[in-house]
Amino acid sequence: MIRRIFPSPILSLALVALWMLLNGSFGLGQWIMGVLLAWLVPYLTHSLRPTPVRFSHPMTALRLFIAVGADVIASNLRVLRGTIAPTNRVPQGGFVVVPLDLRDANGLAVLAAIMCVIPGTIWSELALDRSALLVHLFDMKDAQAEIELIKRRYERPLMEIFE
Per-residue confidence (pLDDT) for residue 3, from 0 to 100 = 67
DSSP character at residue 49: -
Total structural domains in the chain?
Answer: 2
> Is the domain of 43 the same as that of 70?
no
Residues 62 and 43 grouped into a single domain? no
pLDDT tens for the chain, 163 residues: list them: 666 677 778 888 888 999 999 888 888 999 999 999 988 888 888 777 666 677 788 899 999 999 999 999 999 998 888 888 787 777 888 999 999 999 988 899 899 999 999 998 988 899 999 999 999 998 888 999 999 999 999 999 999 998 8
The answer to whether residue 53 is domain-embedded is no
Other C-beta atoms lying within 10 Å of the C-beta of residue 150: 22
For residue 119, the enclosing domain spans: 58-162
- Residues facing 120 on adjacent strands: none
83 & 118 share domain: yes
Cβ-Cβ contacts under 8 Å for 115 (sequence gap 6 or more)? 121, 122, 123, 133, 135, 150, 154
- Report the amino acid identity of residue 73: I
3-state secondary structure of 106: helix
